[in-house]
Amino acid sequence: MFRRRLGLCLLLALLGSASVGTASSLADVAPLPWAPTSADAARSVRPCPSPVSAQATAVCWAMTEDTSAWMALPAGSAYGWGQCTYYAGVMRPDIWNDRAPPSVDPVNDWDAWTWAGHALAEGLAVDGNPRSGDVMVWSRRAVGNDTGHVAIVDAVGGTDPATGDLAITISEMNLEGLDNPWLGQGDTMVLELPRSQLVPGMVQFIHRPGSEYTAPSDPSLGVGVWSNHVATVSQSPAPVTATVTTASGASVTTVRLSANRVVDLGLPTGTYRVCASQPATGAWNGASGCATASWRATLSSTVSLGRPHRSGHRLALPVMLGTALPPAVAAKAAPLVAEVRIELRPAGRHGHAGTASTHTVYTRAWSLRAGRHVLSLPLTRAALSHAVLHVTVVIRATTEVRASAAQTSLQMG
């Protein structure tokens, strides 16, 4: 543990370009009966890849993902493993009660900077006075990025009598330059923050619920629709029925799904309105909600390869592109890009191909529409000297078309 002075300028430098609080999906997923375990607090100390400042170095650590947590993937999947928001949610499973109605607690924005507003909507106390166990919330302005940042307050060390600044020990994940979220990395440090920064709109603290805390009594059902997907957010475990209509009100389909899940609708290009309803069950009242979104559906196309053959120092490669492309895509000069990879495999024992020694990658913007194509590729001297050429063709996806890969081998002779 160390102490250092961290004012607004240094916060900007540390967090300015990090996507430290982006939600991978909806965050207001109902907490399951769960509390942090000893494994969540067990951290393996690791070397910090770079110093935080010239005066001090952070204590860097890593921990194992707790898949029983309500924040864990895939159940709930509120935030990606290793995000600052994931860690704060794991350490404070009480943070989202999902009782406030969507009118005051919207479900379509869950970046870190929004946490203070959501907590207020849930009836939690939020102010600029840190306490041990709080969630510390930096605004986008405070850190100079689009997502903000959150951390857990481990301890409050007091006030500097000379300056009035507060000493706060925090733990966090995904601080750019120190932590790799994919490896479950985090850090612990002591901040000294001026009182002038601990105000609404800059840095705030979400306190733990006290004995007098009462969550809002009205249940809510949030509905999110985007990119051919629908997601529902509810604390009630009752199944949800979602009715899909076109923008003009024509019925399209009805989907029955579990609460707090993301479902692929599989609908063609268009604008759709999804209205979901949830029946009353147990202690929960019935609820409903609607959302509208537009998207362009992605088509899937298969790729198959004919037998390649040599012609002098070139390779002729027949390629068959399956599903017919939509006219808007086919009309483009280069609707799809074919990427061809050739592995050069030396002969092993008994004439069989051995381990690939080198490879050459050809990338060209061939205009591939539905049907048969013959790609002509130059062969290098190294390719001509190898016994086997292993050819892979990948059609690079666009916003309209997604295609598979295909592979073939050519015995050189």
144-156 per-position pLDDT tens digit: 888 899 999 999 9
Domain 222-295 carries which CATH code?
2.60.40
Residue 7: the pLDDT is 38
Strand partners, 277: 241, 288
pLDDT reported for residue 61:
95
pLDDT at res. 332: 47
Q: Evaluate if pTM is beyond 0.75.
A: no
Q: What angle do CA 268, 271, 275 make, to 5 degrees?
A: 105
Q: What is the pLDDT of residue 127?
A: 92
Q: What is the pLDDT of residues 254-296, one digit of tens each?
A: 999 887 778 888 888 889 999 999 888 776 778 888 989 998 7
Could you state, in order of their start, the residue ranges of all structural domains in the chain? 8-206, 222-295, 299-411
Output the average pLDDT for the chain. Answer: 74
- Three-state SS for the chain is CCECCCCHHHHHHHHCCCCCCCCCCCCCCCCCCCCCCHHHHCCEEECCCCCCCCCCCCEEEECCCCCCCCCCCCCCCCCCCCCHHHHHHHHCCCCCCCCCCCCCCCCCCCCHHHHHHHHHHCCCCEECCCCCCCEEEECHHHHCCCCCEEEEEEEEEEECCCCCCEEEEEEEECCCCCCCHHHCEEEEEEEEECHHHCCCCCEEEECCCCCCCCCCCCCCCEEEEECCEEEEECCCCCCEEEEEEECCCCEEEEEEECCCCEEECCCCCEEEEEEEEECCECCECCEEEEEEEEECCCEEECEEECCCEEECCEEEEEEEECCCCCHHHHCCCCCCEEEEEEEEECECHHHCECCCCEEEEEEECCCCCCEEEEEEEECCHHHHCCCEEEEEEEEECCCCEEECEEEEEEECC
Q: Which CATH class is domain 299-411?
A: mainly beta
Which residue's structure tokens are 């991978």? Answer: 24
Fold matches, 222-295 and 299-411: yes
| pLDDT score at 283 | 65
246 falls in which pLDDT band (50, 70, 90)?
A: very high
Higher pLDDT, 3 or 270: 270
**218 pLDDT above the threshold of 80:** no
Under the banding of pLDDT at 50, 70 and 90, the label for residue 362 is low
Categorize the per-residue pLDDT at 361 as very low, low, confident or very high, splitting at 50, 70 and 90: low
CATH topology of domain 8-206: endopeptidase fold (from Nostoc punctiforme) (3.90.1720)
Confidence (pLDDT) at 28: 43
Higher pLDDT, 138 or 362: 138
Interval 93-109 mean pLDDT: 57
> What's the average model confidence in pLDDT over 245-255?
92
**Could you tell me if 205 and 139 are in contact, meaning their C-beta atoms sit under 8 angstroms apart?**
no
What are the structure tokens assigned to 118, written together? 């959501």
Exposure string of 278-303, with b = 16+ CB inside 10 Å and e = fewer, is: beeeeebeebebebebebeeebebeb
18 falls in which pLDDT band (50, 70, 90)?
very low
